[in-house]
Amino acid sequence: WALHLKNITVSLSGQYECSFATYPCGTKAAKIQLIVEAEEEQHYVKEVWLNQTLEIPCLEDTTSENLSSYSLKWLVGIELEPSCPAVYKNSSVLYRQRVHLGLNNTLKIFPTKIMDDGRVFSCHVVYQPERVRKSSTTVRVFGK
């Protein structure tokens, strides 16, 4: 017997019990504790001077060695237009000749331009088929 759950939410956390009657032994039961964690997304703001280099780490609290065995992708969009992102995977080379994917999974932008102000760069790391950690960074560009 198996319990199949769909559309999992935090409210489904709790103890589940399966019990059934057997002959001649009586009732058999098994319990399992289910803990559903909310998906975490971290938000950051990076400030940079116009025409300088900006490096954005994928996940601020995770080293590149910990990310190397997982599927990773960068989404680049504008705060006002998140429905039209450009997708960057590990094999991508350049984005408009200014954005590079670094060896340590950072996004390196050089030179920064006024058009980068307000742009949102999101890193998604897939740990398991349906387990994703996300980190979004909004860029703020300042002129001198």
Pairing of strands 41-49, 99-101: unpaired
Quote the number of domains for the chain: 1
pLDDT of residue 129: 66
pLDDT number for residue 67: 64
Per the domain annotation, does 3 fall within a domain? Answer: no
Q: How far apart are CA 132 and CA 74, in angstroms?
A: 13
**Residue 33: inside a domain, yes or no?**
no
Instruction: Tell me the CA distances in angstroms from 101 to 42, 80, 111, one per residue in order.
Output: 20, 24, 14
Structural domain includes residue 47: yes
Tokens read off for 49: 């001077």
Q: Are 46 and 138 in contact (CB under 8 A)?
A: yes
Residue 106 in any domain: the answer is: yes
Q: Quote the pLDDT of residue 7.
A: 84
35 in any annotated domain: no
**pLDDT for the residue 76:** 81
Could you list the pLDDT tens digit for every one of the 144 residues in the chain?
Answer: 788 888 888 889 999 999 988 888 888 889 999 988 777 778 999 999 999 999 998 877 665 556 667 788 888 874 433 344 455 544 333 355 788 888 778 888 899 988 889 989 998 888 776 678 888 999 999 987
- Per the domain annotation, does 6 fall within a domain? no
Residues in a beta bridge with 31: 17
Range of the domain at 80: 41-142
State the pLDDT at residue 66. 62
- Report the CATH number that the domain containing residue 126 is assigned in CATH: 2.60.40.10
- CA-nearest of 142, 141, 140, 126 to 59 is 126
Q: What is the pLDDT of residue 49?
A: 95
* pTM, two decimal places: 0.61
DSSP 64-123: HHHHTTSEEEEEEEETTEEEEEEEEETT--EETTTEEE-TTS-EEE-S--GGGTTEEEEE
Scanning the structure block, which residue is given the tokens 């599927």?
71
Q: What is the pLDDT of residue 84?
A: 45
